[in-house]
Amino acid sequence: MNSDQSFVDIGFPSDVATLSTGRVAILDRMSQAVVLHDPRGGEVARFGRRGEGPGEYLEPYAIASAGEYVAVWDKNGRLTSVRSDGSIAGTTELVHGDMPSVWQRMPTTNWEEPFQLSREDVTRRISGLAPGVFGVLLQDRDERFDSMFVAGGVPERFSYYVVVVDSLATPVDTLIQLPGPELRLVRPPGQGMYAIVQERPYALRPIWGAGDGWYAWGHGSRNAVSVLFDSGDSLVIEWPRDTRPLAAPDYHHYIDWEIEGYRRTRGDRLASRASEISRKDWIEELDVSDERPQISGMLGSGRCLALAGFRPEHGPHGESEVWVVLNLDRLTEPEVVRVQAGPGFVRDFADGHFFVVAVTENGLRQVHRVPSGSGVCSPTV
C-alpha cells in the first residue's frame, strides 16, 4: 500500500472523517471515543466514552464531518453532533425507522471483529453535505415488516431516504428516495421465534455521496450515477456495464474472505474449521443471486467524486480496490487509482487522499492515508 501517512496506536479504528481544518477524526470503537489527529498523525484530542449520557456511546459504528462538526452514529439509534473542541451541539434518536437497525443485519462478516458489522459498509450511509449539515441514508419500515414475521422467508424491498440533519442533530428535510435491496426474515434452527433480517451477499444497494456544492446518488443495479449541483445543474456519469451474471467463482471469493477474516481475527483453528465446510453447502445457505452489482463504492470530497466498481476478489464487501476519481469541474480528466486496500476498507476520501482501515496479519487495525496520485483532486486544484 502506497501510504504517505499512518495513524497507529488506536485500539479499534472503524471509521475516518477529515475536518475542514485538515485534522483527521478516527472512531475508536474499543475506547468508544473519537480521536483527533493532526495531518502528520499526532493525536491532539479525543472525546467520548462508553455510556448512555451526553457525549457517551454504546457502540458507535460511523462518523462523518461537516465543517467543524463531527456526527457520531451509535448502535442504540442515536446521532450526536459534536464540535471539534469536543462539546456537544445536539443529539437525536434518528435511526429507529431502520430495518430494524443496521447492526442486526445478518450474517455478518468477520472482517469487522470483534464488533461485527453487516456485509454492507454502513459507514458510507452518513456524509457531510455542507458546513454543519449532514445526510444520513435510512431505510423505511412499514406494515410489510410485520407481515414478514408471519410469512417467514418471503422477500420484501423497502425504500431508502437520505435524511438531512443540521448541526444540532435535528432532521430538517428529506433529500432523495432510493430503492433498497431485497430482504427476508430468517429463523435460525433451534431458535424458536427468534428471527434475523438477512440480505444476500453482494446485494444491490443504494449508494450516495456529497462534496462542496453537490451530491450524487446511484444504485448497485445501475451503471450510472446522478449528480445534482446547488446551482440546479445536473449530470449523469456513466460506467461500463458488466453483463456477466454472478456465479460460483464470485461467491468462492466471498467465502475465501470469510475464512481469511477468521484467520486474522480469530486464529488458525477457527479458520481451519470454516475451511472444512463444503463450498456447495455454504453457497446454498447464502441464498445467492446472479445479479451482478455495477458500482459498489462512492465517496465525495470538495469538487471531486470517487467511484469503485465490483471485484469480489479485492475485498470482503466485493468493492474494487481500483477507484475512478473525477473532478466535477473537469470531467475530461478522470484519474484511475489502485488503492490496494486488500484486507481492509476505504473509509474516507478527502483532499486528494483515500483513508484506509487495514487489517494486519495479526488482526490489528491501522489507518493509512493513500494519495490518489496526479493531483486531480488535491486542495490546490
Residue type, 222: R
**Would you state the pLDDT for residue 100?**
41
**Nearest-angstrom CA–CA distance, 379 and 381:** 6
The answer to whether 352 and 372 have CB atoms below 8 angstroms apart is yes
User: Does residue 379 sit within a domain?
Assistant: no
Q: Structurally, how many domains does the chain consist of?
A: 1
- The boundaries of the domain holding residue 14 are 5-371
**Whose CA is closest to 370, among 324, 344, 343, 338?**
338
Residue 255 clears pLDDT 50, i.e. is over it = yes
pTM of this prediction exceeds 0.75: yes
Q: What is Dmax (Cα atoms) for the chain?
A: 60
Q: Please, which residues have CB within 8 angstroms of residue 232's CB and are 6 or more apart in sequence?
A: none
User: Does residue 174 sit within a domain?
Assistant: yes
Q: What is the CATH number of the domain that holds 75?
A: 2.120.10.30
Output the average pLDDT for the chain.
83
145: exposed, middle or buried (Cβ count in 10 Å: 0-12, 13-18, 19+): middle
Residue 96 clears pLDDT 50, i.e. is over it = no
pLDDT digits (tens, 9 = 90+) for 30-52: 888 999 999 888 899 999 988 88
**Nearest-angstrom CA–CA distance, 90 and 20:** 20
4: exposed, middle or buried (Cβ count in 10 Å: 0-12, 13-18, 19+): exposed
Assign 218 to helix, strand or coil.
Answer: strand
User: Does residue 380 sit within a domain?
Assistant: no
User: Does residue 381 sit within a domain?
Assistant: no
* Cβ neighbour number for residue 92 with a 10 Å cutoff: 16
Residue 103 clears pLDDT 90, i.e. is over it = no
Which uninterrupted H or E stretch holds 74?
strand 69-74
User: Does residue 376 sit within a domain?
Assistant: no
Residue 374 clears pLDDT 80, i.e. is over it = no
**Would you state the pLDDT for residue 303?**
93
Quick one: pLDDT band at residue 206, thresholds 50, 70, 90?
Answer: very high
User: Does residue 100 sit within a domain?
Assistant: yes
User: Does residue 378 sit within a domain?
Assistant: no
Which uninterrupted H or E stretch holds 254?
helix 248-266
**Nearest-angstrom CA–CA distance, 27 and 23:** 13
User: Does residue 261 sit within a domain?
Assistant: yes
